[in-house]
Structure 1
Amino acid sequence: MYVLMERGGGKALKSTIQRPHVFHTRSARVHVV
């Protein structure tokens, strides 16, 4: 598994790690593969 973060912060990463899909926040788009 690896995480690609676009314009993101630690909060987005922590939230996304628990959900294996694309997670959108106000300031970040994170892809977990």
Structure 2
Amino acid sequence: MSRTAKPQNGRRRFLRDVVRTAGGLAAVGVALGLQQQ
């Protein structure tokens, strides 16, 4: 991860990655929960 990028662009990319990761984890959690029932 390079810190040479502008703070706004880096922060926006970071937030987008966090949202994507959170969405992926949530989808996996829901899938596992549905499989267990």
Query: TM-score w.r.t. structure 2 length?
Result: 0.30
By relative contact order (CA 8 Å, sep 6+), the higher-ranking structure is 1
- Of Structure 1 and Structure 2, the greater strand share is in 1
